Amino acid sequence: MSEEPQVRYFDHAATSWPKPPEVMEAVARALTEAGGNPGRGAHRLALSAARTIAAARGSLARLLGVPDERDLIFTAGCTHGLNLVLKGTLVPGDRVVVSSVEHNAVVRPLAALARVGVEVVRVPADAEGRVEADEFERLVALAPTRMVVCQHASNVTGTIQAIGDVADIAHAHGATLVVDGAQAAGHIPVDLAALGADAYAVPGHKGLLGPQGVGALYLSPVLEPAELMQGGSGGRSEDERQPTARPDRYEAGTCNTPGIAGLGAGAEFLLAHGEEIRATERALTRRLHEGLAALPGVRVIGPPPAAPRAPVVSIVHERVAPDELAFALDRRYGIAVRGGLHCSPWTHEAIGTLDTGAVRFGLGWGLTEDDVDAAIAAVAEVCR
Amino acid sequence: MSGTQARFAVFGFDSTHDALKAESLLLSAAEEVALIPTPRVLGTLCGFAVRVPAERQDAALDVMADGGLIPTGYAEIDDRT
């Protein structure tokens, strides 16, 4: 029986792996000495759990530049946060202008809202997955617009959108800006105090290095979406109405304390090492991009190697199908990548790969030059 | 029960987050502070409240105000130290 190859993990855009030891220790602590129910009761385990959540909220707020921690809501993930702000804000008759490179975390909630009378207008993108601010301006100015939605970075091409410009356009026309930060948070600097987004959703388990099943949503004070759920909050128990104070309004039910603890530890890890991690990711991404682009028959989609991008490199080969290549890389070389449409059919449509899909390499913490060189050599062999 | 009976000021808040923020601010200011189950006299605001010695009430309010926090409930209680 042949030996299993060493795992070389290039699927950080789906979820980061491995996690820093500090993250795993924080999760374990939340299940042991901080194992009470946060905000429910004042015994030492409950207080410890509540303090764990407060500390995590503070760490994440510092990392993302959130001025008031109370505006940072813990969610079950980025998709949850996006659903909250979209469905809690938009009503039939509203108009929303959205980039045409969104992930299904935005596409599907908007499709559901369109079915009940929300007008959804798509802004076209170029072949690199970039949406021009001028196009946003043109379409937002056409009719009264309640909301603009734009991702910060693409999970297919790595393209980084000009969020500051889009925010200015939205605000100039009386709209609010909602941003999907799934591929940006942890991978590129995010300063929400300066960015201009009115809502910004992040997952905990990708670039923020936390566990799955947890995320966060920043809601600026100008946005007051209706909560998706009502339930226990630990206070005002005699009142049948959901509390209006943040963050409790949007965190009905017992929080995912172990997940939040891990996310907080991930945020602390990035506060300490983020600059170094991002520099390594940029260098490795460029090395991979240039190495793959030099292989016969391989086309790298998205921006050129020197352009700013999230650490994602997707390729198509003229002969080898993405699913075939992804399977061979895993089975023969231990290289974990993702083939297909990456839950982003709009993006693949915009860049012309809807029929074929692509093989995506998502880079992140833990990868080395040796991993990148091994990946390039493996693609060369499979596609020979 | 052990301990000495004493007079305390108790502050209630709208959310757990604010109660913990108050505790943190008061600890940073070297105030004697404890988190306690919210006394019924405060209704049921957040599940726990911030307790300080009664004579430190004004000082505690100043510290919290400097940190941008205003309690939403207040009571005085006799409690064990």
pLDDT tens across the length of chain A (384 residues): 467 889 999 999 999 999 999 999 999 999 999 999 998 888 999 999 999 999 999 999 999 999 999 999 999 999 999 999 999 999 999 999 999 999 999 999 999 999 999 999 999 999 999 999 999 999 999 999 999 999 999 999 999 999 999 999 999 999 999 999 999 999 999 999 999 999 999 999 999 999 999 999 999 999 999 999 999 888 777 788 899 999 999 999 999 999 999 999 999 999 999 999 999 999 999 999 999 999 999 999 999 999 999 999 999 999 999 999 999 999 999 999 999 888 988 888 888 888 889 999 999 999 999 999 999 999 999 999
**Residue B2 confidence (pLDDT):** 57
What residue in B sits closest to A50 (Cα-Cα)? Answer: B16
Q: Would you call A278 an interface residue with chain B, using a CB distance cutoff of 8 Å?
A: no
From the list B21, B36, B44, the residue facing A42 with the nearest CB is B36
Name the one residue in this structure whose structure tokens are 């820093």: A20
From the list A47, A70, A238, the residue facing B35 with the nearest CB is A47
Per the document, the length of chain B is 81
Residues of A classed as catalytic = 343
User: In chain A, which residues have their Cβ closer than 8 Å to the Cβ of B15?
Assistant: 70, 233, 235, 243, 245-248
**Residue A146 confidence (pLDDT):** 98
Amino acid identity, residue A167? A
Q: Would you call B27 an interface residue with chain A, using a CB distance cutoff of 8 Å?
A: no
A200 burial (CB, 10 Å; 0-12 / 13-18 / 19+) is: buried
User: In chain B, which residues have their Cβ closer than 8 Å to the Cβ of A41?
Assistant: 37, 47-48
The candidate with the shortest Cα–Cα distance to B23, out of B8, B7, B11, B38, is B11
Q: Would you call A306 an interface residue with chain B, using a CB distance cutoff of 8 Å?
A: no
**Residue A333 confidence (pLDDT):** 97
Q: Judged by CB atoms within 8 Å, which residues 52-81 of B form the interface with A? A: none
Say if the Cβ atoms of B16 and A50 lie within 8 Å. Answer: yes
- Cα of A221 to nearest chain B Cα, Å: 16
**Residue B45 confidence (pLDDT):** 65
**Residue A202 confidence (pLDDT):** 98
8 A C-beta contact, residue A48 and residue A34: yes
Q: Would you call A248 an interface residue with chain B, using a CB distance cutoff of 8 Å?
A: yes
Name the one residue in this structure whose structure tokens are 């949406």: A131
Q: Would you call A57 an interface residue with chain B, using a CB distance cutoff of 8 Å?
A: yes
Say if the Cβ atoms of B16 and A246 lie within 8 Å. Answer: no
Between A and B, how many residue pairs show a Cβ–Cβ distance under 8 A?
Answer: 65
List phi, psi (to 5°) of B50.
Answer: -105, 125
**Residue A2 confidence (pLDDT):** 61
Say if the Cβ atoms of B15 and A41 lie within 8 Å. Answer: no
8 A C-beta contact, residue A128 and residue A303: yes
Amino acid identity, residue A257? T
User: In chain A, which residues have their Cβ closer than 8 Å to the Cβ of B42?
Assistant: none
Using CA of residue A154, residue A158, residue A163, residue A166, what is the dihedral sign?
Answer: negative
Strands A199-203 and A176-180: parallel
The span from the CA of A123 to the CA of A101, in Å, is 9
Cα distances (Å, whole numbers) of residue A129 to A102, A120, A302, A306: 10, 19, 6, 16
What residue in A sits closest to B46 (Cα-Cα)? Answer: A235
From the list A40, A51, A235, the residue facing B20 with the nearest CB is A51
User: In chain B, which residues have their Cβ closer than 8 Å to the Cβ of A38?
Assistant: 16
- Cα of A273 to nearest chain B Cα, Å: 26
From the list A47, A53, A234, the residue facing B46 with the nearest CB is A234
What residue in B sits closest to A243 (Cα-Cα)? Answer: B14
From the list A54, A235, A245, the residue facing B47 with the nearest CB is A235
What's the complex ipTM?
A: 0.85
Cα distances (Å, whole numbers) of residue B4 to B7, B30, B40, B50: 10, 22, 22, 19
What residue in B sits closest to A73 (Cα-Cα)? Answer: B17
Q: Which long-range contacts (CB under 8 A, 24 or more apart) does A200-205 make?
A: A200/A64, A200/A152, A201/A75, A201/A78, A201/A81, A201/A82, A201/A85, A201/A105, A202/A64, A202/A78, A202/A81, A203/A77, A203/A78, A203/A79, A204/A77, A204/A259, A204/A260, A204/A262, A204/A263, A204/A266, A205/A15, A205/A16, A205/A77
* DSSP collapsed to 3 states, chain B: CCCCEEEEEEEECCCHHHHHHHHHHHHHCCCCCEEEECCHHHCCCCCEEEEEEHHHHHHHHHHHHHCCCCCCEEEEEEEEC
The rounded Cα A33 to chain-centroid distance in angstroms is 30
**Residue B44 confidence (pLDDT):** 64
Q: Judged by CB atoms within 8 Å, which residues 176-235 of A form the interface with B? A: 233-235
| A248: DSSP letter | G
List phi, psi (to 5°) of B78.
Answer: -95, 130
Taking the whole predicted model, whether its pTM rises above 0.90 is answered as yes
- Cα of A269 to nearest chain B Cα, Å: 22
Q: Would you call A247 an interface residue with chain B, using a CB distance cutoff of 8 Å?
A: yes
Q: What is the mean pLDDT of residues B63-71?
A: 95
Say if the Cβ atoms of A54 and B21 lie within 8 Å. Answer: yes
**Across-strand partners of B51?**
B10, B34
Q: Would you call B37 an interface residue with chain A, using a CB distance cutoff of 8 Å?
A: yes
Q: Which two tokens stand for residue A171?
A: 């605000």
